[in-house]
Amino acid sequence: MDIYSSKFAVILIIVLAGIFGLQLMSNSSNNTLIDAETCELYIKDSQINAKQYLNEFDSKCMEFKNLNP
């Protein structure tokens, strides 16, 4: 298959679009969320429907909480 053929370009675009779609689907289920009260980062476990805290804090949220006591 020649690199300059239109078939190669179409196949390459389809493969790259498929990889991009898989990345979007995998990232949407593992988003890191921020607890509004403590500004701590957590991941929501879909199997047991619970929060798993990561012992990390969002700096922007902490600054906002300090500005608005």
Tens digits of residue pLDDT in 26-60: 765 556 788 888 888 888 877 888 888 888 888 88
Q: In whole angstroms, what is the distance from residue 28 CA to residue 64 CA?
A: 26
Distances (CA, A) of 25 to 6, 13, 50, 63: 29, 18, 21, 32
Tens digits of residue pLDDT in 14-29: 999 999 988 877 765 5
pTM over 0.75: no
Domain boundaries, the chain: 1-30, 31-69
